[in-house]
Amino acid sequence: MKTLFNKALIQKIALISIALLPTALFAKGLSYNGTVDVWTSGARQYMQGTLDVRFNSTIAGSPYIGANGYAGGTVYFFGRDSAGDYFSCYVLTNDTNYADFAALKNSVKNGSRIYAYKSTSSNTCIDVSVGTYSYYIN
């Protein structure tokens, strides 16, 4: 009797499906809801937050975070926390560390955490760090 199905092929597909099942069930893994924090300490203002925070006008303070700039132009890092506190700093092209700040801005992606600070008397960034973490990817 002829069958319409190849028994060996069906067995291979079943084995592959069983092998991939744990990955499919647990692909999401550990995840954190991101936050944006803005605060002042002494003569410095700080911001830290993760890119899984999206602007949402229905959430208190409408928090958001970002980095912006264009080729050969000023680089910006900015955000607002849920209390409505705003942070923004920039790096001009004539800054001796401009290339480093531009590289950091260009490295921001899904899963990134931005930490930045500036003097309360200036909007020039003093320092910025960017890290990317799997638990912030959405």
The rounded mean pLDDT for the chain is: 80
- Cα distance between residue 54 and residue 36, in whole Å: 10
User: For residue 118, is it within any domain?
Assistant: yes
Average pLDDT over residues 37-48: 96
Query: In the chain, how many domains are there?
Result: 1
User: For residue 43, is it within any domain?
Assistant: yes
Which of 2 and 126 is assigned the larger pLDDT? 126
Which of 45 and 18 is assigned the larger pLDDT? 45
Q: How confident is the model at residue 54 (pLDDT cuts 50, 70, 90)?
A: low
Closest by CA to 81, choosing from 67, 66, 61, is 61
User: For residue 2, is it within any domain?
Assistant: no
| pLDDT confidence of residue 110 | 84
User: For residue 74, is it within any domain?
Assistant: yes
Domain span at residue 106 reads 36-136
User: For residue 17, is it within any domain?
Assistant: no
Looking at residue 124, the DSSP 8-state letter turns out to be B
User: For residue 14, is it within any domain?
Assistant: no
User: For residue 25, is it within any domain?
Assistant: no
- Cα distance between residue 62 and residue 126, in whole Å: 26
Q: What is the pLDDT of residues 60-99, one digit of tens each?
A: 778 888 999 988 899 999 999 989 999 999 999 999 999 9
Reading the block at residue 133, the tokens are 């973490």
Average pLDDT over residues 100-104: 93
| pLDDT confidence of residue 57 | 64
Average pLDDT over residues 7-13: 53
User: For residue 10, is it within any domain?
Assistant: no
| pLDDT confidence of residue 55 | 61
Average pLDDT over residues 118-137: 89
Q: What percent of the chain has pLDDT over 70?
A: 70
- Looking at the chain, which runs of residues are DSSP E strands? 36-41, 44-50, 64-69, 75-80, 86-91, 112-119, 125-132
